[in-house]
Amino acid sequence: MMSIKITTEPVIETAYSVSTNSYPIDTIRKDFPILSTELRGRKLVYLDNAATTQKPRQVIEALTAYYEKENANIHRGVHYLSEQATLKYEQARHKVKEFIKAGVNCEIIFTKGATESINLVAQSYGRAFIRPGDEILISTLEHHSNIVPWQMLCQEKGAVLRVIPMLDSGDLDMEAFDRLLTAKTKIVAVTQLSNVTGTLVPVREMCRKARDLGAVTLVDGAQSTPHLPIDVQEMGADFFVFSAHKLYGPTGVGVLYGRAELLEAMPPWLGGGNMIRSVSFEKTTYADLPDKFEAGTPDIGGVIGLGAAIDYLQDIGLERISQYEEMLTDYACARLELVEGLQIQGSPRARRGVISFTLDCVHPHDIGQLLDQDGIAIRAGHHCAQPLMQRLGVPATARLSLGLYNTAEEIDYVALRLQHSRKLFLS
């Protein structure tokens, strides 16, 4: 049993503390080799987890073991290596299914990332079922990956894109959602957690209301999946997407969950090997799910690495991670608010893991570069959410985003260095 001791200096005083009772933070941090890296003589403080997370030794070892001992193509080979690779690839699919509580394994489609997963739905389901005059409903909080594919589809099909506005707090305007959701709405595509404000969106309520009116829902879980236990059936989402690299897994791998009846009704998006039942020059018939949407050789090692990442998270305990990160998010907000001249963007009712801010007299890019000199990695820019930046009335923000290995001491250090940076610019 232990609790983190908060070191304060005269610049910032705080009465807040973060309890780590039952949360093995020291053991967790030792699992991530990169956290022992020194940058410019200072130990790395990594707070750019919304962009990509670091990888535990267990994931790195799973990737190495595949390439050293089991490297082969999957599904088509009859030799030992191919059978082993296929077994581990399909075991990873089952792990994903259990992780997000899907119904059956075939509802899990592996892609290159959340972006490709959204595009798959837009280009396959959208092209097949969207008609001129239909409406697609998204929100102000969306990442470009959940805006641009729907714009492209609307331009092609003559559909109309509607946008749920955001309140000044950073929450979605749910009264406006109720007005915008009509019989014309055919797709509702929303994030579960904003990559800018950290807003947790009431996706369960939105999915229920959309389904009552006959609309199909897609939930972007790229940001939420690392922070929250996910149950797609309880959520009521028709489609759910996320990326491995934000979930402590490898880059280049993503997941599309779709209800089996919808996936079966959708035409293939990419053609090639493995997604066929038979091919002749006259006609091609397609394979059953999930193969119909997995043309070509996938990132086999990456999928196996995703399986290892899921094992790692479940060994720690998803509820325990979520509770710790909720406390750490609250602490970070309280600590940053004590920095003179700092303004946190948005104050949503529920926030998790992501805090964007501005600092008077200091451009966000300068904040990022100054903190980098102290070994601190954060993000600065528009975060692939330019419409949201316009709504906030800023061209860019600095963004601190938390992971399961971050600590209150790191947040204290960032707050102190931000105060110092402001003094440098004012002097």
Catalytic residues: 384
Contacts of 264 (CB under 8 A, 6+ apart): 289
3-state SS string for 97-166: HHHHCCCCHHHEEEECCHHHHHHHHHHHHHHHHCCCCCEEEEECCCCHHHCHHHHHHHHHHCCEEEEECE
Please name the residues in contact with 421: beta carbons below 8 A apart, sequence gap of 6 or more.
Answer: 359, 362, 366, 367, 370, 371
Q: Which two tokens stand for residue 32?
A: 């991530």
SS3 for 216?
A: strand
Helix (H) or strand (E) holding 40: none
Query: Position 220: which residue type?
Result: D
CB-based contact 233:208 (threshold 8 Å): no
**Interatomic CA distance for residues 37 and 366, integer angstroms:** 23
- If DSSP codes are grouped into helix, strand and coil, which group holds residue 277? strand
Here the tokens at position 190 are: 């929303």
Tokens of 35: 């956290």
Residue 239 to residue 246: CA distance in whole angstroms: 19
